[in-house]
């Protein structure tokens, strides 16, 4: 599709496109003032350059003519005039040579609307090389310092006009010294770029410098901010310029969290050192995985206010699992609580505070009050305690195992918390929602459930009753509970209640746990020594879990497992210190027989190494039980995941009924703490009127140019052909499944059926595969692919048959994507043996785009108005390593559309620090994708729509300030005046809001879900900011989860209808299926790219003797090596390899 097709919208002439709001207004006065100055400056340069060029030519001609032709007395005067003319010619020529490079540079960096006009696209392409060559020549001939001095001289002598020195909120002081591409030439022309090191002047006289953190004196280039700026202007406040170092917050929320784990000494284990305890510590709360660096930007971006509510679509009555909260207007008292010793889990801390409040010794302090406590350091009371501003120090005793435990508690008043300020924010009187009031309300609502259930994050779980357990296998089981969180909404606070389920480890003996993990059912197998592979598997499962001993009577000490020994209990030795002081070698089995008179039943099994690894404390498996209530944070197997989905799937009506039952059992009206604080919960789901917005039409190609109209999020491709199908001439099949699983006859039948389906879809496979061989193991992937690359010229595709989930898949993608740039399509052996048209059609959908084709597009005539100008869609996501992993890096992926449909996307990926959510290298990633877009379309996008996945609400501010700035920096570095309008939207799937049809007639399918296209943007949304819920897919199993979209920045001034329709239509452009998906295609693709990069980083595991570890040396895990490992081959980057 040519670049002119950006203007192919047939309705473009009916409505004028909305003005582009791409410039953030940093100066006082109208936004077009700077544009007028830039135009005047270009006109000034143009006139001066032409005038001095003409004068130099005229004076030189006149001077030469007079000097040569006239002599004598009269002639001497004329001859002298000729000499003067030559001198004037030289002066004019010098000034002309000074103006010319500056004029050429300014003209090369100008951002003309003509660049977007189809008639000038080719002309722009033709002159770009001339401009770049000219820029390069002058940048080499004249140093930057010379140009700056000459410009100042010209402006001083000639009264010239200084060009604007600020853009996008960043002062222009020449090229940034940290600019990694200094001196390079881009398609966008200028290499002059703004420095990001300078600060922006605000009401405060001192501003923190972006590089060294020192105050910067005001300079002439700093710009004052107009107080009455519009909603999308940059809002600066002096108290927000320098955030607290280290991410520390104001007030109690910045307090460090408690540490879990027990200590102390005691017997019961075989080891050279007495005692052992847990010895582990784990950060509590949400800080556990939060490596987000403190904000260091010289200004703070703020999300825009909601400018409208949506009106398009048919109305539908809904219910949401939100329950109204009524608040008192009185202030609360906030206290800081310090408990020593500090390393206690929250459960123990809550028990300490509960004992203290109920103690008769301290009744005068609490006076029948019922304080609430968060398990860390924050305590709230309805009325002030009689301690004033003094610190109250108390002593609390808890019964312990063997002896009582004594704790010291220090209580200090911090502040008052106002619920009235929260009410003002909910009603729209205040833009900011007070965090302290929100946190205190959450603590009050969670206090009683935290004392009664096992809290995990924001959910609460209860031990399954006997006969109602749901085993997953491998020593794991499903626990059911409920999620609870408070959420600000329009006019009311809401309590979000939802059904929750997660995997826990079963409370059983370690012997039984081992048998489940290793699938040992025969009693005789339990007495045999474990093989190396069995021990490695068992170690992976039990490492990091807590066990309790059973051989010391009532003293059930708990330990954390750090490893599994390679030797058995009867051969594992350790140095034992005797009462006489001598040290002898003893085995674990002998120690337990001598010390506890216990003859081990399983002496051939290994031991658990517990506590600190260097202390060599060993326990036989048979004297240990798994501690109850341990959540499984390790990844479930495919079988366990399938079992859990079946166990937790609920139809929408069933889920609605279960949530109502949860609220009824919670009995909020009987909670004494809620009564104390004057809080009540309405036990009825909130009613909402939503809308079902219309689906777009899908355009296909072929001779018929057929269109599809999605019904309930699904459409049929039968009888239609790809919009742009690729002809496959040379391809190969590599079967890594053994012949006994996939026979040659099955392969032949698969090839015939694939050719038939692909031909019908408009992707003709002209001939049988030129190569079809069997192979075994991942070691054969690279040599086979190298042979195919060298021997089969023009090879387009390799179809790889796999026997199941196998390491071969990761190796195929690594070798194909990274090493040789070959398109690969993996197929499970079961789908080869039993082909179906649906499976083969889905294969064709993926193969076509991997080869550069286009499956389908949105019908141009009915697309949103944003497509009337060049627009680029970005999707961004960061994937993190599994919970519990502390070493693997996070992977950031960004994709961007490369055409006007949008259908083709290009991707870029980076490896970054562990659990870092902010995309650290976003500037070069965006810059690269913008250049690719320009090379592909010959247009610079006038609008950027950025869908960001995976950001929690607590990270909004940091992510917005860093990533929006990086996007703008990428634009400015490409061209000084390039200012596209940016819309920054966060996509959230991990939330617990569910929508239910109030009328059964509106329910869809067997699951009774809401219809695809259901949209809600009021009642349960943010009080003031621009957000909405959209369920864009048809639920197949369980209850549909609508995606939550929160607009953090919007230069393009989208209305609610425009952005909701655009988002819904993008959900229909996902290439892998003929269904609308739950999030927009760009965000989905970013997730796929990051997930694929994780396969590129796969390392092999080897046995270390004392457990398992990763292969490879440390050099293979350096940032440079990991970045090289995910760098995709240039040939692969040209297509959607991740599809």
Q: Pick from 965, 1095, 1013, 792: which is nearest to 197 by CA?
A: 965
**What count of Cα atoms within 13 Å lies in the side-chain half-sphere of residue 91?**
7
Task: Give the whole-angstrom CA distance, residue 890 versus residue 884.
Answer: 13
Question: Is beta strand 1014-1016 parallel, antiparallel or unpaired with respect to 1027-1031?
Answer: antiparallel
Q: In this structure, what is the dihedral angle of CA atoms 133, 137, 140, 143, given to the nearest 10 degrees?
A: -110
At residue 862, the pLDDT reads 87
Question: Is beta strand 824-828 parallel, antiparallel or unpaired with respect to 797-802?
Answer: parallel
At residue 44, the pLDDT reads 72
Neighbours of 249 (CB within 10 A): 11
Task: Give the whole-angstrom CA distance, residue 362 versus residue 346.
Answer: 22
Buried b vs exposed e over 62-71: b needs ≥16 C-beta within 10 Å? bbeebbeebe
What's the pTM? Answer: 0.76
Order of strands across the sheet that contains 558-568: 270-271, 617-620, 606-610, 558-568, 546-549, 624-626
> Which runs of E-coded beta strand occur in 272-390?
314-320, 322-326, 331-340, 372-373, 378-381
List, as one string, the DSSP characters of 403-436.
Answer: S-EEEEEEEEEEEEEEHHHHHHHHTTS-SSPPHH
Token pair, residue 231, equals 């909603």
Neighbours of 207 (CB within 10 A): 23
For the domain made up of 270-274+508-627, the CATH class stated in words is mainly beta
At residue 1014, the pLDDT reads 98
Between helix 532-542 and helix 510-518 the angle, nearest 10°, is 120
Tell me if the domain spanning 866-991+1046-1133 has CATH number 3.30.300.20. no
Token pair, residue 905, equals 């996307």
Q: DSSP assignment, residue 382?
A: S
Domain edges within the chain: 33-158, 270-274+508-627, 325-418, 866-991+1046-1133
Token pair, residue 300, equals 């703070």
SS3 604: coil
Contact between 987 and 1083 under an 8 Å Cβ cutoff? The reply is yes
Contact between 339 and 407 under an 8 Å Cβ cutoff? The reply is yes
At residue 1116, the pLDDT reads 62
Dihedral of CA 420/424/426/432: which sign? negative
SS3 689: strand
Q: Pick from 610, 572, 616: which is nearest to 592 by CA?
A: 572
pLDDT < 70 regions, the chain: 1-42, 71-75, 105-299, 401-402, 523, 1099-1116
Residue with tokens 């059992």: 665
Task: Give the whole-angstrom CA distance, residue 158 versus residue 451.
Answer: 80
At residue 262, the pLDDT reads 38
Task: Give the whole-angstrom CA distance, residue 712 versus residue 720.
Answer: 20
Q: Pick from 289, 263, 294, 260: which is nearest to 278 by CA?
A: 263
């Amino acid at each position: 599709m040519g670049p002119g097709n950006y203007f192919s919208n047939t309705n473009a002439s009916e409505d004028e496109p909305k003005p582009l709001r791409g410039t953030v207004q940093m100066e006082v006065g109208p936004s077009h003032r700077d544009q007028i100055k830039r135009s005047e400056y270009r006109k000034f340069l143009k006139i001066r350059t032409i005038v001095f060029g003409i004068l130099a030519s005229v004076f030189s001609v006149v001077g030469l003519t007079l000097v040569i032709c006239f002599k004598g007395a009269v002639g001497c005067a004329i001859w002298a005039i000729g000499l003067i003319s030559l001198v004037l010619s030289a002066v004019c020529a010098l000034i002309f040579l000074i103006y010319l490079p500056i004029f050429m540079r300014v003209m090369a960096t100008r951002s003309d609307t003509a660049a977007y006009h189809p008639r000038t696209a080719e002309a722009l392409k033709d002159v770009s090389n001339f401009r770049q060559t000219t820029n390069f020549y002058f940048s080499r001939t004249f140093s930057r310092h010379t140009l700056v001095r000459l410009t100042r001289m010209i402006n001083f002598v000639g009264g010239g006009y200084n060009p604007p020195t600020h853009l996008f909120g960043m002062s222009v002081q020449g090229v940034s010294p940290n600019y990694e591409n200094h001196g390079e030439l881009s398609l966008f022309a200028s290499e002059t770029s703004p420095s990001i090191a300078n600060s922006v002047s605000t009401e405060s006289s001192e501003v923190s410098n972006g590089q060294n953190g020192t105050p910067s004196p005001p300079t002439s280039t700093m710009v004052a901010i107009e107080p009455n700026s519009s909603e999308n202007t940059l809002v600066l406040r002096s108290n927000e310029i320098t955030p607290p170092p280290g991410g520390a917050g104001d007030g109690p929320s910045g307090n460090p969290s408690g540490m879990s784990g027990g200590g102390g000494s005691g017997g019961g284990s075989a080891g050279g050192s007495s005692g052992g305890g847990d010895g582990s510590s784990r950060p509590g709360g949400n800080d556990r995985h939060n490596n987000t660096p403190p904000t260091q930007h010289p200004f703070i971006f703020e999300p825009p206010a909601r400018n409208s509510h949506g009106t398009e679509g048919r109305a539908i009555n809904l219910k949401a699992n939100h329950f109204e909260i009524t608040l008192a207007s009185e202030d609360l008292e906030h206290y800081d609580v310090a408990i020593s010793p500090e390393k206690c889990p929250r459960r123990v801390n809550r028990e300490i505070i509960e004992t203290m409040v109920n103690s008769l010794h301290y009744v005068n302090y609490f006076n029948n009050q019922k304080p609430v406590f968060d398990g860390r350091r924050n305590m709230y009371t309805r009325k002030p305690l009689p301690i004033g501003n003094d610190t109250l120090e108390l002593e609390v005793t808890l019964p312990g195992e063997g002896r009582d435990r004594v704790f010291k508690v220090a209580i200090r008043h911090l502040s008052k918390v106002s619920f009235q300020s929260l009410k003002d924010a909910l009603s729209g009187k205040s833009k900011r929602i007070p965090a302290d009031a929100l946190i205190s309300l959450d603590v009050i609502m969670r206090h009683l459930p935290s004392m009664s259930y096992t809290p995990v994050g924001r959910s609460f779980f209860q031990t399954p009753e006997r006969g109602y357990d749901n085993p997953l296998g491998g020593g794991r089981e499903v626990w059911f509970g409920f999620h609870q969180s408070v959420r600000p909404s329009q006019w009311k606070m809401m309590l979000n209640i939802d059904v929750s389920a997660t995997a826990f480890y079963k409370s059983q003996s370690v012997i039984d746990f081992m048998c489940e993990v290793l699938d040992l059912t025969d009693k005789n197998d339990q007495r045999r020594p474990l093989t190396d592979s069995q021990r490695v598997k068992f170690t992976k499962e039990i490492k990091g879990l807590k066990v309790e001993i059973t051989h010391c009577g009532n003293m059930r000490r708990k330990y954390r497992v750090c490893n599994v020994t390679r030797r058995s209990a009867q051969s594992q030795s350790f140095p034992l210190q005797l009462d006489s002081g001598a040290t002898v070698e003893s085995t674990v089995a002998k120690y337990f027989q001598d010390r506890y008179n216990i003859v081990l039943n399983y002496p051939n099994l290994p031991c658990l190494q517990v506590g600190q690894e260097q202390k060599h404390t060993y326990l036989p498996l048979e004297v240990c039980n798994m501690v109850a209530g341990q959540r499984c944070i390790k990844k479930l197997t495919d079988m366990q995941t399938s079992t859990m989905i079946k166990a937790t799937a609920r139809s929408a009506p069933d889920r609605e009924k279960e949530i109502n039952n949860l609220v009824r059992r919670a009995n909020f009206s009987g909670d004494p703490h809620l009564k104390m604080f004057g809080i009540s919960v309405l036990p009825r789901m909130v009613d909402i009127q939503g809308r079902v917005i219309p689906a777009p039409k899908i355009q296909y190609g072929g001779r018929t140019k057929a269109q599809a109209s999605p019904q309930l999020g699904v459409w049929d491709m039968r009888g239609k052909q790809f919009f742009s199908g690729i002809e496959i001439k040379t391809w190969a099949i590599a079967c890594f499944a053994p012949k006994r699983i996939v026979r040659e006859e099955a392969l032949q039948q698969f090839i015939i059926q694939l050719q038939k389906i692909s031909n019908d879809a408009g992707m003709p496979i002209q001939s049988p595969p030129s190569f079809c061989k069997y192979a075994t193991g991942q070691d054969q992937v690279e040599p086979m692919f190298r042979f195919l690359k060298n021997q089969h010229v023009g090879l387009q595709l390799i179809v790889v048959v796999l026997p199941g989930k196998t390491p071969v898949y990761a190796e195929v993608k690594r070798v194909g994507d990274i090493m040789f740039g070959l398109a690969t399509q993996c197929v499970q052996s079961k789908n080869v043996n039993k082909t179906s048209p649906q499976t083969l059609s889905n294969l064709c959908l993926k193969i076509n785009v991997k080869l550069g084709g286009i499956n389908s597009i949105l019908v141009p005539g009915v697309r949103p108005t944003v497509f009337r100008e060049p627009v680029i869609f970005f999707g961004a996501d960061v994937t993190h390593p599994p919970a519990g992993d502390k070493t693997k890096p996070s992977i950031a992926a960004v994709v961007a559309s490369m055409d006007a449909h949008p259908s083709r996307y290009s991707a870029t990926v980076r490896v970054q620090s562990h659990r870092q959510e902010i995309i650290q290298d976003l500037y070069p990633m965006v810059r690269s994708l913008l250049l690719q877009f320009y090379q592909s379309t010959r247009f610079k996008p006038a609008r950027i729509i950025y869908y960001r996945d995976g950001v929690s609400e607590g990270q909004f501010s940091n992510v917005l300030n860093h990533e929006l700035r990086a996007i703008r920096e990428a634009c400015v570095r490409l061209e000084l005046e390039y200012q596209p309008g940016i819309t920054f939207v966060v996509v959230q799937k991990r939330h617990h809001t569910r929508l239910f049809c109030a009328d059964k007639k509106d329910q869809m399918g067997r699951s009774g879900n809401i219809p695809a296209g259901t949209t809600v943007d009021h009642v349960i949304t943010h009080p003031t900011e621009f957000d909405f819920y959209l369920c864009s897919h048809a639920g197949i199993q369980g209850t549909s989860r609508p995606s939550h979209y929160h607009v953090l920045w919007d230069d393009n001034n989208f209305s609610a209808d425009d952005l909701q329709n655009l988002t819904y239509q993008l959900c229909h452009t996902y290439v892998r299926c003929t269904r609308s998906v739950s999030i927009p295609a760009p965000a989905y693709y970013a997730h796929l790219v990051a997930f694929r990069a994780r396969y590129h980083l796969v390392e092999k595991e080897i046995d270390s003797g004392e457990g398992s570890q990763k292969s490879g040396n440390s050099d293979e895990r350096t940032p440079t090596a990991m970045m090289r490992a995910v760098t995709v081959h240039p040939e692969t980057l040209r297509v959607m390899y991740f599809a």
